[in-house]
A and B are shown apart, each in its own frame.
Chain A
């Protein structure tokens, strides 16, 4: 206990170095900019900025990525409130009440509420990160080769069904990624396998290039295929960005409820901020003493949605850092960043690398304060950036993707690989396949292969070893749950969204009637 407290304290001291603080501020600002631009996603932002963290210390690099993640989730609310277009799916529910507040000349109040609720949602989520992550990591100490094999399969089944419409297509994406992970030298014997006659592929497919291609370059192609139209002008607001004491008191219970919802949703692999924001919004409506305000611009609605989606950030890091199972695309990219730094999720992060991990955790706490400060001070400026045309974004993001890929090994072939994955990613998205599953498979593939082959080796080739322990059976059970969970999650999301929209439509109708009277 004392040791953990010591590590926590040391983490804060390390996180408070000038370079870390500078990186937090830069990461949050970058994240908010990416988040507030409709068309750019948090995963894309984190993937694009990944190469910038290579030369940094592991903890600093992770802090930057965490800052971009948190900033992007909050940033989505700016365009949701001011132009009624959520910057990211995580802010879809915020747009309902936030835009109504803007129409009533209370945009400043809506933005303050979003920022304030995001801050508390994110900050409170760090509590579970501090307490649950080390406990869960201890569990993996019982894992042997066979368990690691099943863990890799579990990770894939979880992410496979997250974003696509078809679970089988998600699983196909994962299996396709696993096959791609076999490219390069055999990780056990060192024998040459599929290398297309190029020594370049000896180390396999460069995960970072694949990440940038699948998440960022493919987004460029998505933007390029649509007719470019001018974005709606962000509403210029003149009201004060603040809340009265009573208003803060009013949203306090909403924030606590949404934190719990967001945190649980974040820990559950397969769910994400997009689901959490609707659940947070609906719950705030259910418990509100001012239900009549919903649909007319309720600060409780904005707080409920924003606290929930930011509470997901800390929660989703728990399975990512402990089991290596990211619940959504952003954490899959974050895990890529961790692996690239030479670190593996699991007990080592809380043993050998504990100082680094606790510095990252402390940085994650401090990032929330930066988000509050930068969010409040820069809202007006960010609102203007959110209008940036896709025509400008297309070549700019292309250049950044190319430079980012090149910076890894200073090899032009990396750009070619990134571009190829950009095209693959674009086609996958068009045909409802899951790009996050491919990325995760590229990371988990070698772990699964080593697990499978070492287990078979130790049993003299008898596959029964894969079913020989209780942990194996638990993981097999979780794989089945993993396959079935997307069906449940999709229903949950659809129900929450339907309730939110239906309720709002009723309220708007009432409002129109009142206005006409």
Chain B
């Protein structure tokens, strides 16, 4: 199997994690350092082993980008809209509470994904009802009210 350049990102990320945790670990009391150091060494050693495997693979079978294989059929616009939508949903929830933000988020995403209006309405009503009864009534969870709504009250 060819070495994938994309895996270099995995290796770099793991080394960065090791470096960050090591920089933090040396500030702990001696007793508290034992286990974090053990796990850092373990992660570092395994990452280095993987890097060596990659070098061997590159020499034996050559190198490929890996981007095509990893992101096959990737729809960037759709993916980032959904990702940003999810992040905005959490932000909206903080300000406007669960129910308002859920309706806005679901309507926006469903419309963007071209779900027919009738199904959009059914999906929103079903999810809001499910959460209301399962979490609100059955579990007694007080869902976020939102800072703006709180202030308006």
Contacts and interface: CB of A to CB of B under 8 A. Distances in A.
B139 A179 contact: no
Given A179-B40, A431-B7, A419 B109 contact: no
A462 interface: no
Contacts of B47: 172
Contact of A391 (B21, B79, B114, B126): B114
B50 A395 contact: no
A235 interface: no
A54 B139 contact: yes
Nearest to A168: B50
B134 A431 contact: no
Main secondary structure of the interface of A (DSSP, over half): helix
A291 interface: no
A513 B106 CA distance: 52
B109 A394 contact: yes
A224 B79 contact: yes
A221 B84 CA distance: 11
A97 B10 CA distance: 40
Contacts of B85: 395, 398
A452 B7 contact: no
A224 B134 CA distance: 26
B38 A227 contact: no
A433 interface: yes
B143 interface: yes
B53 A407 contact: no
Nearest to B130: A400
A178 interface: yes
A456 interface: yes
Contacts of A396: 106, 123, 126-127
Interface in B95-153: 98, 102, 105-106, 109-110, 113-115, 119, 123, 126-127, 131, 134-135, 138-144
A403 interface: yes
A496 B82 CA distance: 39
A188 B9 CA distance: 35
Interface string B1-32: 00000110110001001100100110011011
A179 B105 contact: no
Contact of A452 (B18, B34, B142): B34
A138 interface: no
Among A226, A392, A431, chain B packs the most CB atoms within 10 A around the CB of A392
Among B46, B49, B71, B85, chain A packs the most CB atoms within 10 A around the CB of B46
Nearest to B14: A172
B115 A402 contact: no
B135 A168 contact: no
A453 B35 contact: yes
B93 A415 contact: yes
Contact of A175 (B10, B43, B78, B86): B43
Interface string A166-195: 101101100110110110001011010110
Interface in A273-301: none
A366 B93 CA distance: 40
B12 to A, nearest CB: 12
B10 A391 contact: no
B36 A220 contact: no
A193 B105 contact: no
A410 interface: yes
A515 interface: no
Contacts of A402: 89-90, 93
Interface residues of B, number: 66
Nearest to A170: B46
Interface in A40-76: 51-52, 54-55
A514 interface: no
B73 A392 contact: no
Contacts of A391: 110, 113-115
Interface string A405-427: 01100101001100100110000
Contact of B36 (A52, A176, A182): A182
A228 interface: yes
B112 to A, nearest CB: 9
Nearest to A191: B32
Contacts of A178: 39, 42-43
Contact of B143 (A171, A406, A423): A406
Given A171-B46, A395-B110, A407 B14 contact: no
Contacts of B94: 412
Nearest to A224: B82
A392 B106 CA distance: 9
Given A179-B40, A220-B82, A456 B46 contact: no
B50 A169 contact: yes
Contact of A225 (B74, B109, B123): B74
Contact of B142 (A54, A189, A410): A410
A13 interface: no
21 contacts: A54-B139, A168-B53, A169-B50, A179-B39, A186-B31, A188-B32, A191-B31, A220-B82, A227-B73, A228-B113, A389-B115, A391-B110, A395-B110, A396-B123, A400-B127, A403-B131, A406-B98, A412-B144, A431-B70, A448-B35, A453-B35
Interface of B: 6-7, 9-10, 14, 17-18, 21, 24-25, 28-29, 31-32, 34-36, 38-40, 42-43, 46-47, 49-50, 53, 70-71, 73-75, 78-79, 82-83, 85-87, 89-90, 93-94, 98, 102, 105-106, 109-110, 113-115, 119, 123, 126-127, 131, 134-135, 138-144
Given A186-B31, A395-B127, A415-B93, 16 more contacts: A54-B139, A168-B49, A175-B42, A176-B17, A178-B39, A182-B21, A182-B35, A193-B32, A227-B73, A228-B78, A391-B110, A399-B106, A419-B86, A431-B6, A431-B10, A452-B38
